[in-house]
Amino acid sequence: MGLMQRLTLIAASLAVTATVQAADLAEHRWRERVILVHVSDGQQAAWQRLEAVLRARASDLRERDVVVYVVGRSGETWREGVPLSRADAEALRRRIDLPPDTVQLIGKDGGVKLSQPLAQADLEGIFRTIDEMPMRQWEMQNRR
């Protein structure tokens, strides 16, 4: 299964209903957390492992208000598995400082909360980081 097919499966499993608009992370501020993934040719196996975990934990991502962006090896970029236009992808890449083969967690306040090498990406660690955030603590208490 190719990278594009796998990304399409992630989109379906995350039940993406919104259309992709401008790739500006500011649109997520105070609404969603963002996981940014930059994948190069040399890290396809690491990406496949992370992708499988993201797919398996889609409901946990939704519960934590997480949106996933993936920047591929040739600059192609997806939001929740849906490809961004070339202009939006370029705009996003200009706005973010994401080294190759890196996973970053961006909080609802727009700040980088965690940065990990893709080969060592740990979704459980990302979830722990999110769950320790004061805003997430409030969400868990008030969403019942």
The string of pLDDT tens digits covering residues 72-116 is: 877 789 999 899 998 888 888 888 878 889 999 999 999 999 999
| Cα separation, 117 vs 129, whole angstroms | 16
Closest CA to 35 of 8, 9, 53, 17: 53
CATH number at residue 110: 3.40.30
Select from 9, 30, 46 the least CA-distant residue to 121.
Answer: 46
Residue 135, domain member (yes or no): yes
As a whole number of angstroms, the distance between CA 142 and CA 20 comes to 29
Residue 34 counted as domain residue: yes
Cβ atoms within 10 Å of 27's Cβ, excluding its own: 12
State how many domains the chain has.
1
Q: Is the CB of residue 102 less than 8 Å from the CB of residue 117?
A: yes
Indicate whether 75 belongs to any domain: yes
Structural domain includes residue 93? yes
Q: What is the pTM of this model?
A: 0.80
Structural domain containing residue 88 = 3-14+24-142
Residue appearing with tokens 């370029």: 90
Q: Is residue 19 part of a domain?
A: no
Summarised one tens digit per residue, pLDDT across range 6-56 is 555 454 433 332 333 334 688 899 999 999 999 988 888 999 999 999 999
In a domain, 108, yes or no: yes
In a domain, 45, yes or no: yes
